[in-house]
Amino acid sequence: DIQMTQSPSSLSASVGDRVTITCRASQSISSYLNWYQQKPGKAPKLLIYAASRLQSGVPSRFSGSGSGTDFTLTISSLQPEDFASYYCQQSYSTPPTFGQGTRLEIK
């Protein structure tokens, strides 16, 4: 199975900050990397797929980059509704695997 490792596990930031979360795969997954946002008590929501493609309806302050083994999710200017947990997921091979998550908290 492909292991996905996110960093940091938690992050404190302020409204308006630029934030970057990283995700590393244990082997090359080309661009088969997706990002999800999850708010407490809610289901995950797809934000970005294929490493850099924004899901319909997702604000443009979210962006993704990377290929191979190293990927990043960037939020250009944090908004109050962005404080949540974020997960990366590889869709390169079965079983699909997730990173352990990054909790983004208000400073």
Partner 1 sequence: EVQLAESGGALVQPGGSLRLSCAASGFTFSTYEMNWVRQAPGKGLEWVSYISSSGSVKYYADSVKGRFTISRDNAKNSLYLQMNSLRAEDTAVYYCAREVGALFQHWGQGTLATVSS
Contact positions vs partner 1 (CB under 8 A):
32, 34, 36, 38, 42-46, 49, 55, 87, 89, 91-92, 94-101
The answer to whether 74 and 19 are in contact (CB under 8 A) is yes
Residue closer to partner 1 by CB (options 76, 98) is 98
The answer to whether 73 and 48 are in contact (CB under 8 A) is yes
Q: How far is the CB of 91 from partner 1 (least distance, A)?
A: 3
Q: Are strands 10-13 and 33-38 parallel, antiparallel or unpaired?
A: unpaired
Q: How far is the CB of 105 from partner 1 (least distance, A)?
A: 15
Residue closer to partner 1 by CB (options 17, 101) is 101
Q: Give the chain's length.
A: 107
